[in-house]
């Protein structure tokens, strides 16, 4: 039995998954996280599909992504000695303006993807580093990338462009949108479980430490709150969200801040952390109930409501709202603050269903269906890897199961 490994490399973390391939969807065997890479208290945590904890037998500091991958894979091999890796799937944040589907990864492709690092400086270099480490560890395995920007390549021009001289658009200064792997999963899930809603006008709110919203028609992205970078749109855990560009000019001219200092401020010291002065974890902010934490939550939900109205205008109406991501899936307070008094908008929230984290949290009489759907980016990546193996096998004339049957 062959397996697929999925990798999602961040600046200080590495999410990983092990999937078994069969005749249907890839089946999760184990998923885990390498956290605090580059820090003395780095750790590896994992859990099997049936909820059993998998331990790291060699704790200690982890210097970089290559070492993080080595630790994760060593742990998987110790606990799953039958593992035979046929493919490795990667989440890569930026694929540029042309890539709209998963792509096989080669050294040449990785070299080409490096040019997008200035567009996503906190993500792209680590994604590429993780992919290179996987290629060295599994030289005979197929490698494939799923891009966060790919899902949004169906945007109309007016949702893609800034009002700058056209030469900048031609150079790549445009709205790309992100969290596309998550939105891809939600779109596919709706197609299978609620095809009428999938065919309609849907706004998906991916709310977590990174947060954005996406407007979909017939399962395709037509608008997103994130733009040129992962800074735009909603406020996030440590990122500012929408910002008047004049603020950046002020920081440069009046505060004397360098580009690196401004980047650190906007990416790492703003958002919920900056507003609350105490942290970026929504659970902590909800429990703290201080003036600052309440204000941070109020601003977060205000921006979600504002963007919901804007995206509904883009869609020309609204049939469903889907909450996903760590906050969207788990915070009944945030969902209530966003939807609780929007009867005028066609949304009528069911308080009991919301408190229970039910799949549908709107009432039967609500004109707009409000749903909570846990995202599964790893499954999207595993499916892409399975498809790559299937296509290679078919091209070679080899008998192989239809992995998406």
pLDDT band, very low/low/confident/very high, at 91 (cuts 50, 70, 90): very high
Mean pLDDT of 136-162: 96
Rounded Cα gap, residues 93 and 130, in angstroms: 12
Higher pLDDT among residues 396 and 40, named by residue: 40
pLDDT band, very low/low/confident/very high, at 50 (cuts 50, 70, 90): very high
DSSP lists the bridge partners of residue 132 as none
Rounded Cα gap, residues 240 and 220, in angstroms: 27
Q: Is residue 72 a contact partner of residue 136, using CB atoms and an 8 Å limit?
A: no
Nearest to 240 by CA among 303, 154, 309, 308: 303
pLDDT tens string 106-132 = 999 999 999 999 888 888 998 998 899
H/E element holding 147?
Answer: strand 142-147
So what's the pLDDT on residue 42? Answer: 83
DSSP lists the bridge partners of residue 27 as 20
pLDDT tens string 297-340 = 999 999 999 999 999 999 999 999 999 999 999 999 999 999 99
Mean pLDDT of 221-241: 96
Residue for token pair 């590495």: 14
Rounded Cα gap, residues 208 and 275, in angstroms: 16
According to DSSP, residue 152 is labeled G
Rounded Cα gap, residues 61 and 42, in angstroms: 5
pLDDT at 394 over 60: no
Q: How many CB atoms lie within 10 A of CB 203?
A: 26
Active site residue 148: yes
Higher pLDDT among residues 13 and 369, named by residue: 369
H/E element holding 364?
Answer: none
Q: What is the pTM of this model?
A: 0.92
pLDDT tens string 239-258 = 999 999 999 999 999 999 99
Topology alike, domains 3-147+378-395 and 194-372: yes
pLDDT band, very low/low/confident/very high, at 58 (cuts 50, 70, 90): confident
Q: Is 279 left (phi over 0), alpha (psi -120 to 50) or beta?
A: left
Rounded Cα gap, residues 297 and 154, in angstroms: 32
CA angle, residues 337, 305, 288, in degrees to nearest 5: 40
Which tokens in the block code for residue 141?
């395995």
Catalytic annotation, pick one of 35, 56, 148, 184: 148
Higher pLDDT among residues 62 and 204, named by residue: 204
> Strands 27-35 and 13-20: what pairing?
antiparallel
For the domain spanning 194-372, the CATH number is: 3.30.420.40
CATH of the domain spanning 3-147+378-395, picked from 3.30.70.270, 3.40.50.300, 3.65.10.10, 3.30.420.40: 3.30.420.40
Sheet holding 3-9, edge to edge: 53-54, 43-48, 27-35, 13-20, 3-9, 85-92, 142-147, 103-104
Environment class of 100 (CB within 10 Å of its CB; exposed 0-12, middle 13-18, buried 19+): middle
Nearest to 63 by CA among 133, 111, 121, 116: 133
pLDDT at 398 over 60: no
Query: What percent of the chain has pLDDT above 90?
Result: 82
Which tokens in the block code for residue 390?
């299937």
Mean pLDDT of 6-19: 88
Which tokens in the block code for residue 230?
């992962």
According to DSSP, residue 349 is labeled B
pLDDT band, very low/low/confident/very high, at 393 (cuts 50, 70, 90): low
Phi, psi of 179 (to 5 degrees): 60, 25
pLDDT band, very low/low/confident/very high, at 31 (cuts 50, 70, 90): very high
Mean pLDDT of 220-224: 98
Q: Where are the domains of the chain?
A: 3-147+378-395, 194-372
């Amino acid at each position: 039995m062959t397996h697929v490994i999925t990798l999602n490399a961040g600046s200080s973390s590495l999410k990983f998954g092990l999937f078994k391939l069969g005749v249907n969807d890839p089946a999760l065997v184990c998923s885990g996280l390498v956290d605090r890479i580059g820090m003395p208290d780095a750790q590896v945590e994992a859990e099997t599909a049936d909820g059993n904890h998998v331990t790291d037998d060699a704790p200690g500091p982890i210097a970089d992504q290559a070492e993080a991958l080595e630790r994760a894979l060593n742990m998987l091999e110790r606990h799953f000695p039958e593992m035979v890796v046929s493919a490795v799937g990667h989440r890569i944040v930026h694929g540029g303006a042309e890539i709209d589907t998963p792509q096989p990864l080669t050294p040449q492709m990785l070299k080409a993807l490096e040019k997008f690092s200035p567009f996503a400086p906190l993500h792209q270099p680590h994604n590429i580093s993780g992919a290179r480490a996987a290629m060295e560890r599994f030289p005979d395995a197929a490698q494939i990338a799923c891009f966060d920007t790919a899902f949004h390549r169906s945007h109309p021009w007016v949702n893609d462009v800034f009002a700058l001289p056209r030469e900048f658009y031609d150079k790549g200064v445009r709205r790309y949108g992100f969290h596309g792997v998550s939105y891809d999963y939600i779109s596919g899930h709706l197609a299978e479980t609620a095809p009428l809603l999938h065919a309609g006008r849907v706004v998906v709110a991916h709310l977590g430490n990174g947060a954005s919203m996406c407007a979909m028609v017939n399962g395709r992205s037509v608008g997103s709150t994130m733009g040129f970078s992962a800074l735009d749109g909603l406020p996030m855990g440590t990122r500012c969200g929408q910002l008047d560009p004049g603020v950046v000019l002020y920081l440069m001219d009046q505060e004397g801040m360098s580009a690196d200092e401004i980047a650190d401020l906007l990416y790492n010291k703003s958002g919920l952390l900056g507003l609350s002065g105490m942290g970026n974890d929504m659970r902590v902010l909800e429990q703290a109930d201080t003036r600052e934490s309440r204000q941070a939550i109020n601003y977060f939900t205000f921006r979600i409501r504002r963007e919901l109205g804007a995206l509904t205008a883009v869609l020309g109406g609204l049939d469903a709202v889907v909450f996903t991501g760590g906050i969207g899936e788990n915070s009944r307070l945030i969902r209530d603050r966003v939807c609780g008094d929007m009867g005028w908008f066609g949304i009528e929230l069911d308080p009991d269903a919301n408190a229970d984290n039910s799949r549908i949290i709107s009432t039967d009489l609500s004109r707009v269906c409000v749903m909570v759907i846990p995202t599964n980016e790893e499954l999207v990546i595993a499916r892409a890897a399975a498809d790559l193996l299937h296509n290679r096998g078919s091209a070679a004339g080899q008998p192989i199961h239809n992995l998406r049957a």
